[in-house]
Chains A and B, each alone.
Chain A
């Protein structure tokens, strides 16, 4: 009897494990992955959602089983056999989750530093995560520490302004665009300045998000991989039209990108360096953006941390 139960439980657990692994790979809950970081993210996410799915099955399974198996039979007024505690059981369900969450923490930390392309501030010199960075083919991760930046190629840095309710992306040669164009295979650094309230730059396909904060420069780095058009979404409540604060991000091959940039630069020159390029998002036309921009510049701007 006892052995039979044990056997049954092991079979069930094995099924749960199989289901979890399957679900972790086939959850279909995420949009396309357009950047190197997104690929890392998806691996971590798949693992965590798989574990969560397995635990979900176990808990709900036990609850449903209990509701059916242990319901009181009509006419039975006696209490159930008392059971106050079981030390080994309690140790198990304290220790296993502890180990599990610590493992999740370490794994997440690892992915985090890898996504940031840094050896996370405090570990910058321990080379703890160095192999990860070296293995990275595009190899353009700048470290935070200034002495290390010399070792790696500079990322392509763009100044980005966020304002109610639009994004402006600035390129070399006086190009300001409502569209974000970036080439594949190169690390991109966006330096954000918010001119009125908080906003947040989010591209779901990059799995990255960064708040923009008035008065405090923030930045985000990523490596685009998959060409296509994606939405830039504002993810921090910024006023009435927060829901309409969107822009397009176009990931292009380096050649296409260069062609686009040259064209924009020529246009900008032709129009006295003040041309706004790109298809503008509904609520703003070129004149409005220019107006906002000059208001921003007049306010002192926060673009003085340029890296290019």
Chain B
């Protein structure tokens, strides 16, 4: 396939650049909103990362010596909350979803543009409330906020702010999800059936359905918790006859699906990144699409695997064990399909593909430890230990964050109209990969050998391994520098990007970089399927621009 790459001069040649101040307005353009989400959430990633660095510094020594232990509890609570609710969830749904879905299905915008902007701007009060709680003593009962601790807590004000912040952010994500479902369902361009959609749209649809079914339950639990906390009611407070375990059920009914909300869109990103950079069609399109829906369905019935030690009856433990283990099947289908996509391809070993392959490699580790955790007797030993911390960081960091980076590099030219620097992209990848594994692989050993999580002090026998983790964490902190510098520099001064630098076949690459305010100047044209690589397109407008 021959490719005509247009040559823009360096500098400000792109016709459709959005003026910078637009990003500070209540814009209803899905592309502006998408970038608002991506940039805002990345800032919170840096905040969450700084908290992680503090956590790891405290854990460099066995004693609780960097700060008082109650502060430490605040640090990991805020770290977890920021990472989940202000980084991964809004970035993979609000960020990538908003930017990409309309472009991928040939729509001019989302179904409800006003609602969309509203959802984004709700993040602002939600985040302000959460960050503000640092000034009154932040919530310190973990991101799970189990009662009765969260009711008896000394950080009363911080806990209340935490609850209201989550209620606001949760509402925001419900609004965004409504938008995705309606948009994907009813705004596909003529001629695009459900099975002609790029897989990212399938993944976003599945994630949005999970948000809609589960987030209201979290909201209910949090509202009741706030009554207990502020009004002295006894929904979850055992001294008045309440049941703390009911809270756990409600919480995990949301929070396990939330894990899939954080990973399904990233599955979608990886399914988009692999084919153009491997120059091959995605392997097993339908299987991947169906497996997203299967994960969506199964994922709603596994929540109590977080409660194997909570005194749940045996039949419940068995039921949730079997359901949990079954999730491995659709997940495995995806992983194998991605591997088959790479197999026999012509891999362009640049940052997007490196991060996507890094994603597969690291996510599989999290998946394998996940299957072990799904086995109830295994979990009973390692529940609430560093084994679990290692596991979920392989999924959330090795999975979600690696996938987000793959997506950021892949769509950077489209979003900004400029190319990033490939050399620093590779440096970023190598540092992240090494730092990540140094930080999180040893945690599995810690947990198995006897170190519980959420502790500011630990048995001195674990010192060496903890120091390796801490070293890895510092390396991870350093690894974000090349990315940040590269992103900022390239966005401002990078080489102008052609419309389709990767010769990709999904619709977003048929418009200009960055896209026209209405996405396409004329009407979008559906010339090929999203993954029809290996055909001859020399006559197609995709290469003629």
Contacts and interface: CB of A to CB of B under 8 A. Distances in A.
Interface of A: 29-31, 40-41, 44-45, 48-49, 52, 55-56, 59-60, 62-63, 66-67, 70-73, 76-86, 89-90, 93-94, 97-98, 101-102, 104-105, 108-109, 111-112, 115-116, 118, 120-122, 196-198, 200, 202, 204-205, 207-211, 213-216, 218, 231, 233-244, 299
B384 A77 contact: no
Interface stretch (B44-52, B161-169, B443-451): B443-451
Contact of B310 (A102, A211, A238): A211
Contact of B445 (A29, A60, A197): A29
Contacts of A60: 361, 364
A208 B308 CA distance: 11
B310 A213 contact: yes
B280 A231 contact: no
A88 to B, nearest CB: 12
Contacts of B383: 209, 235
A41 B342 contact: no
Nearest to A302: B238
A105 B320 CA distance: 10
Interface in B316-342: 317-318, 321-322, 325-326, 328-329, 332-333, 335-337, 339-340, 342
Given A70-B345, A104-B371, A213-B311, A237 B142 contact: yes
Given A29-B444, A209-B380, 4 more contacts: A52-B372, A62-B343, A101-B328, A243-B452
Given A112-B376, A211-B309, A213-B245, A104 B364 contact: no
A190 to B, nearest CB: 13
Nearest to A42: B381
Q: Which 4 A-B pairs have the closest CB atoms?
A: A215-B238, A243-B455, A82-B534, A204-B450
A129 to B, nearest CB: 12
Contacts, number: 269
B344 to A, nearest CB: 6
19 contacts: A52-B371, A62-B339, A67-B349, A70-B342, A76-B346, A77-B2, A79-B533, A81-B344, A86-B340, A94-B332, A196-B152, A197-B148, A207-B381, A209-B380, A216-B238, A237-B141, A240-B70, A243-B458, A244-B69
A80 B146 contact: no
A29 B317 CA distance: 25
B279 interface: yes
Given A121-B315, A243-B64, A80 B279 contact: yes
B28 interface: no
B521 interface: no
B535 A80 contact: no
Interface residues of B, number: 95
Interface string B501-536: 000000000000000000000000000000011110
A41 B313 contact: no
Contacts of A105: 321-322, 325, 375
A108 B279 contact: no
A216 B532 CA distance: 60
Nearest to B333: A94
Contact of B357 (A67, A81, A231): A67
Nearest to A97: B332
B371 A210 contact: no
A216 B311 contact: yes
Nearest to B146: A198
Contact of A122 (B64, B315, B372): B315
Contacts of A76: 346
Contact of A85 (B68, B284, B533): B284
B342 A66 contact: yes
Interface string B58-75: 000000100011100100
Interface in B156-202: none
Given A77-B1, A108-B377, A208-B381, A56 B458 contact: no
Given A41-B381, A52-B372, A238-B149, A63 B361 contact: yes
B120 interface: no
B499 to A, nearest CB: 17
Contact of A70 (B239, B346, B381): B346
Contacts of A72: 279, 346-349
Contacts of A97: 328-329, 332
